[in-house]
Amino acid sequence: MSNMIRITGLAAAITLGAISAGQAESHKGGGHHGGMGLQHSFEELDTDGDGRITPEEMAGHMQARFEGADSDGDGVLSHEELVTRMMERQAERISAYADHMIERHDADGDGKLSMEEMRADRQHGMFERFDADGDGVISREEFDAMQTRRGQHRGMMQGGTQGGGMATE
């Protein structure tokens, strides 16, 4: 019984973690590319189709997610299984974000982004945001201030972690 409680607790933690990550992603604009929020539709969670999600349905969903992560079927999640599942979920989010960028910036419709397409609607506006005093150049102070604001914004949107990467979105 104690093992079952631990498994249920861990499954709940995995689900809550996914929900939290999904909510953070949706605050970043996730709704624009396929509902990056909760990752599961109401219909998926409402397994009997009665228009309500019961604790039993939620527990069944969590159990299925747990079993999906438990690749060796031993009833516990090893460090490797957790890392593998987290990396799969991260890859799914990255792929959806790449799709969103292409959809938003691919002016010629070839499914790829050229430097011109990536720069087209961002370069001028980005420079103006950095050049706070409007003198046509970016000083060290303006650059540092923008980096600080950007870091604070990313930290808030990513649940307190700051990520690297290209500043294109």
118 vs 152: CA distance, rounded Å: 24
What is the model's pLDDT at position 102? 92
For 4-72, give the DSSP string: HHHHHHHHHHHHHHHHHHHHHHHHTTGGGSS-TTTSS-HHHH-TT-SS---HHHHHHHHHHHHHHH-TT
98 vs 92: CA distance, rounded Å: 10
pTM: 0.49
Structure confidence by residue, pLDDT tens digits, 102-146: 998 899 999 999 988 887 766 557 777 788 888 988 899 988 988
Distance of CA 154 to the CA centre of its chain: 12
- 142 close to 131: Cβ distance less than 8 angstroms: yes
Question: With bands split at pLDDT 50, 70 and 90, how would you rate the model's confidence at 23?
Answer: very low
User: 167: helix, coil or strand?
Assistant: coil
Average pLDDT over all residues of the chain = 75
What is the model's pLDDT at position 105? 87
Is 19 a residue whose pLDDT tops 60?
Answer: no
Which residue carries 């060796």 as its tokens? 72
What is the model's pLDDT at position 60? 93
Question: With bands split at pLDDT 50, 70 and 90, how would you rate the model's confidence at 6?
Answer: low
